Chain A
Amino acid sequence: MAGLEVATRPTNLLLVSAGCFAGTLIGMLPGLGPVSAIALLIPVTYAFDPAGALILLAGVYYGAVFGGSTSAILLNAPGVAGTVATTFDGFPLARSGAAGKALAVAAYASFSGGTLAAVMLLVAAPALATVSLSFQSPEYFALMVLGLIAVTAFAGEGGFAKSTLMAVVGLMLATVGTDRTDGVMRFTFGRLDLLDGISFLLLAMAAFALSEVLLAALNGETRQTTNKLADMGSLKLSRKEVQDVAPAIGRSSLLGFLIGVLPGAGATIASFMSYAFERNLAAPKAQKEFGKGSLRGLAAPESANNAASSGSFVPLLTLGVPGSATTAVMLGALISYGINPGPSLFVDRPDVFWGVIVSMYVGNVVLLILNLPLIPYFARILALPQTFLVPLIVFFCLVGVYLVSFNVFDLYLMIAFGAVAVVLRRFRYPMAPMIVGFTLGGLLETNLRRSMVLYDDSFSFVWERPITLLIMVLTVLIVLLPVLRKRWRRAVTD
């Protein structure tokens, strides 16, 4: 088969390894991000043939998704939106002394997600093109609502009211900046710095990493990590844990892949959805662990975001349409190599089409080999005394945010948000729903407004379109089910 031959050429093996290595580094350090990294690499790729070039770029992309979990788990610092859900359980795990185990589960989950997605691509990529086009704006709107509700409805800390409130705050923050339908400026207070809205990185660093270390400093917390140094880096999983995590990985990979195939969704929504899905599926006892350090809660979003980033190659390669900012840059690269991606790509250029897909297996193996031996060393970061760790994380946040915008205003804004977050967290307002609301808010709004224009200012799309209706019903069920279950149980015991 053409793909296998292309993917196993020595230069291409080297390219995929180089891409994965660069991607892992980029993913670990919040800041640059895969989009800019790939855009900057394009001139370099002109030296290779198109298949090799795309293999390199794809390696950077899924390498970054793979590497992004490390800072999310260890430092509560999600550098890209797709790793926010990883912090929900990954960071509590790391804090409780199981950093090595958390990183290992994340690595295995990412590997499985990526590999399963590559298998699905190999089997069905050309056929999946129709799936990509089955969702329109009303469906995306419904999907965003479902994702938002599914995550906030179960937010443990502070209860339902507080978590809904924070989700609304997130939605409100997402409206700042130039609106994407009419180009009108909203809540910018005449400031140039706010024209593009608040950056995700800034808010995520403020709400999670920065407020975390500020709280720790305020509490004068001295973590009892020293005695656990040996466990810290341990990667061992018990048989029960493996049995617990494996099915979750399988389910989340499939869900993540399917969401990734949709050009309007992507890794972020995939990770939130699979997290919520696993929590709903879990037995009540296991459900309580979600958010406090559940291995299942960590494995689900990690396998989903990797599967989704592989899935996003379906619309790129089979239709020539980008599913995310990253694949949009890759599409530009492909066209500049003289290749027109579209329905006949796998006939015209089987070397590119199948070569890239087969190289994804290789890439995932490389990533696993690259990452597993490093875990004990990364995990030890948490063993640093608080006096070193706190300034290190603050530095890391400030530099990461500054390097994206080169704008000092962003730093002040981040510090201000960090301070507000500390106060809110003291009063047990959860941060997760806020970030979920913020990341989904923009897409939710534009898809709603687009649907309104398409349906001549009526809401009829909610009941006229079967998939939209189905997702909406599911959303309502998620909200009502726990209430109904409680009622029913009470009725039985009475």
Chain B
Amino acid sequence: MPSILKPLFLRRSCFCAVLLAYVCLQGVAAEACDATGDTPADMARLHFLVPGGAGGGWDSTARAVGEALRRSGLAARVSYENRSGGGGGVAIAHFIETAGRQQNTVFVGSTALVIRSLGGLLPQDIDELVPIASVVADYGALVVRADSPLQDFAQLSTAVAENPRQNKVAGGSVRGGMDHLVLELAMIAAGHPAGRVPYVAYDAGGQALTSLLSGETQVLSTGVSEVAAASDQGQVRILAITSPERLPELPEVPTLLELGVDAEFANWRGFFGPPGMTEDERKRIACVIETMTRTPEWETQRSRLALTNFVRRGTAFDAFLRDNRRQLDRLMDSVRAGKKAATQ
């Protein structure tokens, strides 16, 4: 820790000690982050295992977090390892295989890996890893071209359900992948049958946006971060988003919830430890990450990512993951069942 920060650190540890005492009395000591004794809020080194290539979503998240940790002095050294392949499967397999010598290594995971695990597309399920903490989330956005006749989500969902031939939906993931599921979620919540969406798969959000702009497709389902720039430029209109509340960057875009459509969905990104990680280790890293998300250095990095803070750790993260998994599992089941019914 740089000497300049020492007074600050001491003050914080005093405060934390008081807080710790209070929390101990409450009997939930294991949940609190404190900067004293055996759980210091900084660490010598942290290694990121990124399941995708340089420049992708997992990679940019890892590098943003690593940079904020280094600049805020919470971690002295950070390093990154890109192990792409099999949609994340290669990195998960490697992490499990070498778990014994992966101290101070965290794996970057996201909703997409839960979806692939549930779909049986990964040789090893992501729930074999130990959840540490989530940091950011992107929310789903339902988008049309600026000159589209569709004005709101109600018109959009009716048009897609009743006239699928003229209203194709683009997304930046495979069929059954995240962008497809988000749209199905919204459609089901709006009272339309599952598994009937005319979904066209593109390799990435940018390609899907191109198809919307060229008029190949009429609706786009993708992450808010993928279309924020295009919406800013007036090329597209975002009709609804899947966040619990409106986003500060898009104050005029309604959430599905406030439109009376019970569909909330967060595409979170977070960190996982190797199987067999001790509870102490897990808490130590989680606390470092949580402390990091309150630094101004992180704010700079986060705004570059154009993502929303989504910090969960400890039992809260465990519970969130369980719910998230259940939601996705149920959704994927009903989409499959709906598709079957449609083809019979």
- A residues neighboring B (CB under 8 Å): 35-36, 38-40, 42-43, 133-137, 178-183, 185, 192-193, 195-196, 263-264, 315, 319-322, 328-329, 331-332, 335-336, 340-345, 405-407, 446, 450, 453-454, 456
Contact = CB atoms under 8 A, between A and B. Distances in A.
26 contacts: A39-B53, A39-B55, A39-B59, A137-B216, A178-B87, A180-B174, A181-B175, A183-B119, A183-B177, A192-B93, A193-B90, A196-B85, A196-B86, A264-B207, A319-B213, A322-B204, A322-B207, A328-B55, A328-B204, A332-B55, A336-B60, A342-B229, A342-B234, A343-B235, A344-B234, A405-B85
Nearest to A455: B165
A181 B208 CA distance: 13
Contacts, number: 137
B203 interface: yes
B118 interface: no
Interface in B121-147: 121, 123
Nearest to A443: B203
A342 B233 contact: yes
B85 A336 contact: no
A456 B163 CA distance: 12
Interface residues of B, number: 52
B232 interface: yes
A446 B203 contact: yes
A450 B201 contact: yes
B168 interface: yes
Contacts of A321: 206-207, 209-210, 213
B222 interface: no
A344 B230 CA distance: 11
B305 interface: yes
Contact of B305 (A38, A192, A336): A336
Given A320-B229, A405-B85, A453-B198, A136 B214 contact: yes
Interface string B41-58: 000000000000111000
A226 to B, nearest CB: 44
Nearest to A335: B229
A181 B202 CA distance: 7
B225 to A, nearest CB: 8
Nearest to A321: B210
Given A182-B174, A185-B121, A321-B207, 18 more contacts: A35-B54, A43-B67, A133-B214, A135-B214, A178-B86, A181-B175, A183-B87, A183-B121, A183-B174, A192-B85, A196-B86, A315-B210, A335-B228, A341-B229, A342-B230, A342-B235, A406-B83, A450-B201
B206 A133 contact: no
A446 B211 CA distance: 13
A181 B173 CA distance: 8
A180 B204 CA distance: 10
Contact of A340 (B90, B168, B209, B233): B233
B211 A136 contact: yes
Nearest to A38: B55
Interface of B: 53-55, 59-60, 63, 67, 83-87, 89-90, 93, 116, 119, 121, 123, 165, 168, 174-177, 198-204, 206-207, 209-211, 213-217, 228-230, 232-235, 304-306
A64 B174 CA distance: 31
B121 A178 contact: yes
Given A40-B54, A192-B85, A195-B85, A454 B175 contact: no
Top 7 A-B pairs, shortest CB-CB distance: A342-B233, A39-B55, A195-B86, A39-B54, A183-B174, A340-B229, A336-B304
Nearest to B176: A183
B38 to A, nearest CB: 33
Most buried by B among A195, A345, A456: A195
Contact of B201 (A135, A180, A264): A180
A340 B203 contact: no
A221 to B, nearest CB: 38
A36 B53 contact: yes
Contacts of A38: 55
Contacts of B234: 342-344
A343 B230 CA distance: 9
A36 B55 contact: yes
A263 B202 CA distance: 13
A332 B228 CA distance: 12
A36 B56 CA distance: 10
B136 to A, nearest CB: 14
Contacts of A42: 55
Nearest to B303: A338
Nearest to A333: B55
A55 to B, nearest CB: 19
B59 A335 contact: no
Contacts of A336: 60, 304-306
B83 A320 contact: no
Contacts of B203: 180, 446
Contact of A319 (B123, B176, B210): B210
B79 to A, nearest CB: 13
Contacts of A343: 233-235
A335 B228 CA distance: 10
Contact of B206 (A43, A331, A342, A453): A331
A36 B80 CA distance: 13
A319 B59 CA distance: 25
Contacts of A181: 174-175, 201
B126 to A, nearest CB: 15
